[in-house]
């Protein structure tokens, strides 16, 4: 079969990707799972793991190399835009409340995985399937630690909100601890990627760019947009000028975070966080369903194209998978549960927090893609960690129900699951 | 300067394009023009006509060849999506009303330009700057006729609505005649492009694909979406399933219209037209500002990159420009005015219809890009017709005011311009 022109090829991809993700999301919801779980799996199935294994010629025809640039662009725009929406919704004030409990859970959810990453890195050290040649032990430990400790932050927020727990102690702690832990994991990731790329000016660029982007978000953007935001409030609507300005600022943040070696998602999240609250942010929130339904599927497809489940069918890979699953469940979920109990949360609520903190979701896929694009992670470890992300995300719903949901529903605290 | 990676380069382009289009749109509105006029001009200025003429190295660095595929994709998605929104809003019932008057204006607006295209094609025949080698006289006549007779249909609808004239005789006639004339011009364009590409199976593909896409829009899509649309009505909201299905159907329509040699805009428009009316279409209409502000600017930039105003600075090109402007004003505007008068509309209202029908706007740019990509039109003629599109669009507002606005405001029929 001759390859179709790029535009046509992208349309066909869009049909497949949108359809597969929507159906998979619907199936996931039928089973009481968040739709993101189904979409993650759909992306993997469209890649070499299933479609490419059964129909290699057709899969290569549908996803030709020439269309990868555009697909990658859509994928990055999708996650960048989604994290922008998460940033829009994010309330920094919540992080400041309940600081002892939050810090205990966040610290446990980060420190234990990083400690457990040391033996894991020692076990995976001598194979290019796991880490590419040139990665030092400390880079491997830090990358694995970040991969083990990351939280499906947007999904966590979504679950907490949809169950009406946003203002409960459990909800606040889970959201704040998830945010702190994720911020830490992302900073570590940025340092690892910058140091792995070797050139000293990359590290400088990462530090200078990171400082610059935070300064812009903190000081410049609120001032730049104050007038436009006030005009939106006055007119009770998003003005064209505000829409244009926000889009240009979003592109600038994404460009800056990409330039300094981090990922577009940082820029997107910080941009959303930086916008002055009011009619402007209320209006922009309405784009979230469009981004989640129409752009994010391309991210799942792009991630799935990099994932090769077939590589896992070897004793060493399966052994590694079992080890990673065990470490990730006990190291993150277990540590969070103990910390929450220690800081005084009742057992059921501690279990709820731990099961939410344990889901890796989308964030793990983003982090893994950063590691893969930097040339740090090998194919097998990438695929192992993708499966870990899917499994921990699949477990979040049932674990939450088992530890917290049943009791809470009996006590009348929780309306419906 | 070394070229930045594609993603970074696209972010920088996005900042420039979004900023320039928004500022130009704002300036246009200050002068009482629709913002689309400003954006058209901004796109031209970012291309080789101004930015590339002053800073050629910087312009080539900002818009590198490697990023063209993604930029083109965004441009096509932008116009396809915008025409989808126009299709959503389009009311076929209106076309069926006032049929005599509408048909007279539509026929005059199509036939006279096609007749005037014959001497124009004879004048431009012997130069590859105007038409590429291989274009027959009949192809040249048909292309020029389509280019002269096209109407800025979305802008016309927007002006008519924003002035509260949607249900006046003048508004209905302008909208219906614009739609009929445009449909005719687009069919002719599709035939010209298909016949120019030479292979007989392209023409067959165009006819079969065209028939198929209309059949899908008429019979399959309403049935496919009936259930999802009813569910949206029941829930008073856009459901995720409906959003996913609409996106996949949109991609299928765009793919089909591209495959059969027409442009993505046909597929987008027909898809919007085909959706069952109700909460589904009401919800989807909300995406229009996002598409108009965030995607359409890339279309203006992409068009502008192909336009070279500097090529016009030659006696023959300037002569052609003057001739084209004269023919387009008298041939389209004049013919529509006479037809409207003949069919019984008062002079002022006939003038209003004619000035609206005379604007070429965005549709001319789309049509010209189709001709350019097919290898039919030369650089000089392309640039001449871009200038004609800008001038006729700039004239629409003042002509409307001069022929109709003043009288109507005195008579109390028109609130504000």
- Put simply, the answer to whether B7 touches A258 (Cβ < 8 Å) is yes
Query: What gap in Å lies between CA A294 and CA A366, rounded to an integer?
Result: 18
Nearest to A293 by CA among A82, A88, A87: A82
pLDDT in tens, B38-53: 888 899 899 988 898 8
Mean pLDDT confidence for B358-383: 86
Answer yes or no: is B303 within a domain.
Answer: no
Mean pLDDT confidence for B269-294: 90
pLDDT value of position A87: 86
Average pLDDT, chain B: 86
CATH of the domain at A151: 1.20.1530.20
Query: What gap in Å lies between CA A19 and CA B224, rounded to an integer?
Result: 14
pLDDT value of position B410: 78
Contacts of B70 in chain A (CB under 8 A): 69-70, 73
Q: Which ranges of chain A have pLDDT less than 50?
A: 416-417
pLDDT value of position A125: 67
Query: What gap in Å lies between CA A358 and CA A331, rounded to an integer?
Result: 9
CA angle, A54 as apex, A53 and A56 as ends, to 5°? 65
Q: What percent of chain A has pLDDT over 70?
A: 95
Count of beta carbons in the 10 Å neighbourhood of residue B116: 24
Residue of B nearest to A292 (CA): B240
Answer yes or no: is A26 within a domain.
Answer: no
Mean pLDDT confidence for B123-131: 75
Count of beta carbons in the 10 Å neighbourhood of residue B200: 10
Of the listed ranges A35-49, B16-30, B397-411, the one predicted with least confidence: B397-411
Query: A61: exposed, middle or buried (C-beta count within 10 Å: 0-12, 13-18, 19+)?
Result: middle
Judged against a pLDDT cut of 60, whether residue B120 lies above it is answered with yes
Query: A211: exposed, middle or buried (C-beta count within 10 Å: 0-12, 13-18, 19+)?
Result: exposed
Domain count for chain B, please give it: 1
Judged against a pLDDT cut of 70, whether residue B131 lies above it is answered with yes
Nearest to A308 by CA among A9, A24, A51: A51
Q: What are A228's two structure tokens? A: 């436009």
pLDDT in tens, A215-236: 999 999 999 999 999 999 999 9
The phi, psi pair for B260, rounded to 5°, reads: -90, 20
- Asked whether this complex has an ipTM greater than 0.90, the answer is no
Answer yes or no: is A21 within a domain.
Answer: no
Judged against a pLDDT cut of 90, whether residue B145 lies above it is answered with yes
Question: Sign of the CA dihedral A277, A180, A253, A72?
Answer: negative
pLDDT value of position B200: 67
Mean pLDDT confidence for B380-402: 89
pLDDT value of position A147: 93
B50 compared with B206, residue with greater pLDDT: B50
Answer yes or no: is B1 within a domain.
Answer: no
Answer yes or no: is B156 within a domain.
Answer: yes
For residue B6, the distance in angstroms to the closest alpha carbon of chain A comes to 8
* pTM, rounded to two decimals: 0.86
Answer yes or no: is A23 within a domain.
Answer: no
Contacts of A14 in chain B (CB under 8 A): 247-248, 251
**Contact partners, residue A265, CB within 8 Å, separation at least 6:** A79, A80, A83, A257, A366
pLDDT value of position B417: 39
Alpha helices in A260-378 (DSSP H): 264-274, 279-285, 288-290, 296-306, 315-328, 335-342, 347-358, 361-373
Count of beta carbons in the 10 Å neighbourhood of residue B402: 14
Q: For residues B36 and B155, is the Cβ–Cβ distance under 8 A? A: yes
Q: For residues B271 and A41, is the Cβ–Cβ distance under 8 A? A: no
pLDDT in tens, B235-254: 998 988 899 999 999 999 99
Query: What gap in Å lies between CA A18 and CA B249, rounded to an integer?
Result: 10
pLDDT value of position A200: 67
For residue A7, the distance in angstroms to the closest alpha carbon of chain B comes to 7
pLDDT value of position B260: 77
Query: A31: exposed, middle or buried (C-beta count within 10 Å: 0-12, 13-18, 19+)?
Result: exposed
- Put simply, the answer to whether A290 touches B287 (Cβ < 8 Å) is yes
Range of the domain at B268: 78-288+310-390
pLDDT in tens, B302-357: 988 888 888 788 888 888 899 999 999 989 999 999 999 998 888 888 999 999 99
Judged against a pLDDT cut of 80, whether residue B163 lies above it is answered with no
B180 compared with A384, residue with greater pLDDT: A384
Count of beta carbons in the 10 Å neighbourhood of residue A125: 14
Q: What percent of chain B has pLDDT over 90?
A: 33
- Put simply, the answer to whether B248 touches A293 (Cβ < 8 Å) is no
For residue B369, the distance in angstroms to the closest alpha carbon of chain A comes to 15
pLDDT in tens, A180-193: 888 788 778 878 88
Answer yes or no: is B64 within a domain.
Answer: no
**CA separation (Å) from B197 to B144, B201, B260, B398?**
17, 10, 12, 40
Answer yes or no: is A293 within a domain.
Answer: yes
């Amino acid at each position: 079969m001759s390859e179709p022109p790029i535009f046509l090829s992208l349309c066909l991809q869009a049909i497949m990707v949108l359809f597969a993700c929507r159906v998979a999301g619907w199936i996931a919801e039928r089973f009481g799972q968040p739709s993101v779980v189904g979409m993650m799996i759909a992306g993997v199935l469209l890649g070499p793991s299933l479609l490419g294994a059964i129909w290699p010629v057709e899969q290569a025809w549908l996803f030709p190399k020439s269309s990868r640039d555009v697909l990658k662009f859509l994928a990055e725009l999708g996650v960048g835009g989604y994290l922008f929406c998460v940033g829009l919704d994010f309330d920094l004030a919540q992080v400041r409340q309940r600081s002892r409990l939050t810090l205990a859970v966040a610290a446990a959810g980060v420190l234990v995985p990083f400690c457990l990453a040391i033996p894991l890195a020692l076990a995976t050290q001598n194979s290019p399937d796991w880490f590419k040649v040139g990665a030092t032990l400390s880079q491997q430990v830090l990358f694995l630690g970040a991969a083990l400790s990351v939280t499906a932050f947007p999904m966590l927020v979504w679950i907490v909100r949809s169950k009406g727990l946003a203002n409960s102690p459990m909800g606040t702690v889970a959201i704040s601890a998830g945010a702190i832990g994720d911020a830490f994991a992302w900073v570590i990731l940025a340092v690892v990627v910058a140091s792995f790329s070797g050139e000293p000016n990359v590290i400088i660029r990462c530090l200078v760019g990171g400082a610059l982007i935070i300064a812009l978000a903190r000081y410049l953007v609120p001032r730049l947009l104050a007038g436009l935001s006030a005009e939106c409030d006055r007119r009770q609507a998003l003005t064209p000028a505000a829409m244009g300005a926000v889009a240009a600022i979003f592109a600038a943040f994404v460009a800056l975070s990409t330039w300094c070696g981090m990922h577009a998602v940082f820029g997107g999240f910080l941009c959303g966080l930086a916008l002055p609250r009011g009619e402007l942010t209320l209006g922009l929130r309405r784009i979230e369903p469009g981004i989640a339904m129409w752009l994010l599927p391309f991210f799942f497809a792009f991630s799935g194209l990099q994932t090769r489940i077939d590589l896992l069918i070897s004793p060493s890979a399966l052994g590694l998978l079992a080890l990673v699953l065990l470490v990730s469940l006990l190291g993150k979920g277990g540590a969070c549960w103990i910390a929450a109990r220690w800081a005084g949360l009742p057992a059921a609520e501690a279990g709820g927090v731990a099961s939410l903190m344990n889901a890796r979701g989308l964030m793990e896929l983003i982090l893994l893609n950063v590691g893969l694009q930097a040339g740090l992670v090998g194919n097998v470890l990438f695929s192992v960690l993708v499966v870990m992300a899917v499994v921990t995300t699949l477990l979040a719903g049932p674990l939450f129900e088992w530890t917290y949901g049943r009791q809470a529903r009996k006590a009348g605290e929780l309306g419906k699951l």
